[in-house]
Each structure stands twice: as C-alpha cells, then as structure tokens.
A = this chain, B = another copy of it.
Amino acid sequence: MSTRSAGETKRVRLGPEERRLQLITLGAEMLVDRSLEEVSVDDIAKQAGISRGLLFHYFASKQEFHEAIARHVSTEFFTAIMPNRELSLFDMLRDSIERFVDYATEHSASYRSVLRGPASVTPDMADYVNETRGAIADLIVSELPLPPEDPDLARLTLAIRGWIAFVEETILTWMIDKPISREALVDLLVESLPALALSPALIAALQG
C-alpha cells in the first residue's frame, strides 16, 4: 500500500495537510524495521518524491518530524481502541479489546517494533508509549464508580497499569503462533481485567 501511494504521489500534487500526513505515514511505516532515530529524512523525501528541503518546509527539524511520527502512531492506536460509550461497561471492555487485538494483528510488525523493538527505547517513543499506557489506565479508572478518596484507588491504578502490560504481552505472544482462537484470546483478556484489578465488591457493584 505504501509503495503504491508513494508511487502515485510522484504524479499528484498534494495539499499541505495531505503532504504532511503522507510524510508522517511513510515514517510510521519505517518503524517496522528501525528505531525512530534511524528514520532517515532523505529516505522519506525520496519515497515521497520530494526534496529534502521541501520536507523541512513541513517540519522545522528532524526532531520535530520524529515527534510527529511518534504522536501519530500513539494517536492512531489510542483512537483504534477508544471505548464506545453507548455500550454497557463490560460490553465496552470487550468491544475495545476486540479492536485492540485487531489493531495489533493488522499492524503486527510495527506494533511489535514499537513495544519491543529498537523504537521502543528511544526516549521520544518510550515517552509516547508510556503516555498511551497511562491514558488507557486513566480511561479505565475514570469509568469505575470509585470516589477519589477510595483507599483502594492506588492499588487499583497500579493493577490496571500492570494489566495493560498483560494485554500487550499476551497479544504479542499469541501473534507468534496463535495457540488459541481469536475469540478465546478476547475472552481471556476481557476476563483478566476484573480478575487482576477489581475487588469482588467492586465487580458486584458494577454488575448490579
């Protein structure tokens, strides 16, 4: 897909917003086999069929370009799993998890690279990955009917953060040889949140 769009754009004049997005998307695709810092401005400009100078018309510096890529990848993922608030709490969890699994499966190489590859330890990307994990944790905590002064809140926040790592690792391991069905994987992930993070009393309150 990237090759085709890159080929097409050599003949097409893009508007500023489209051009910016095209450059960011090409950069994001490069994260499959290299770290963010290794995403070369020259390679991207070449693929997009523009000059290096024109790329710097859209991004003030290489640093700014790399930050835009990291933000794009995080936002794309976070948007893909955004809860549908028209559903009940447990259905919302299942629905988001299904989209989490599908996003990871459809972007398996770059998903693995961002979480476990060289890109994951460059300071920028590590920050964005961490912020995304924090945002997911906040999203979940905000859905729970807990008063801010609840003594269990610190433990719950910590457990939810750990649960996100559980989901990431379970999906990464599952993708290697898919030892169980997608449906069984989704069941495991859905059931794991209340099992790991919520007290029996809180689960009863949510269901009741």
A residues touching B (Cβ–Cβ < 8 Å)?
116-118, 120-121, 126, 154-155, 157-159, 161-170, 173-174, 179-180, 184-185, 188, 192, 195-196
A161 engages B173 (CB within 8 Å): yes
Closest residue on chain B to residue A122 by CB atoms: B118
B121 engages A158 (CB within 8 Å): no
B165 engages A168 (CB within 8 Å): yes
Partner of A166, one of B118, B121, B162: B162
Closest residue on chain B to residue A191 by CB atoms: B196
Judged by DSSP, the binding face of A is helix
**3 nearest interchain CB pairs?**
A165-B169, A162-B170, A166-B166
In the assembly, what is the distance between CA of A164 and CA of B166, in Å?
8
Give the shortest distance, in Å, between A184 (CB) and chain B (any CB).
6
Using A117-B121, A121-B118 as known contacts, say yes or no to A162 and B158 having CB atoms under 8 A apart: no
Give the shortest distance, in Å, between A35 (CB) and chain B (any CB).
9
Hey, which chain B residues are within 8 Å of A174, CB to CB? 158
Closest residue on chain B to residue A199 by CB atoms: B191
Closest residue on chain B to residue A198 by CB atoms: B195
In the assembly, what is the distance between CA of A165 and CA of B120, in Å?
16
B162 engages A167 (CB within 8 Å): yes
Hey, which chain B residues are within 8 Å of A184, CB to CB? 155
Give the shortest distance, in Å, between A58 (CB) and chain B (any CB).
30
Using A179-B157, A180-B158 as known contacts, say yes or no to A166 and B116 having CB atoms under 8 A apart: no
In the assembly, what is the distance between CA of A167 and CA of B165, in Å?
9
Please name 6 pairs of A and B residues whose Cβ atoms are closer than 8 Å in the assembled complex, sorted by A: A120-B121, A158-B179, A158-B188, A162-B167, A165-B165, A166-B166
Hey, which chain B residues are within 8 Å of A162, CB to CB? 166-167, 169-170, 173, 192
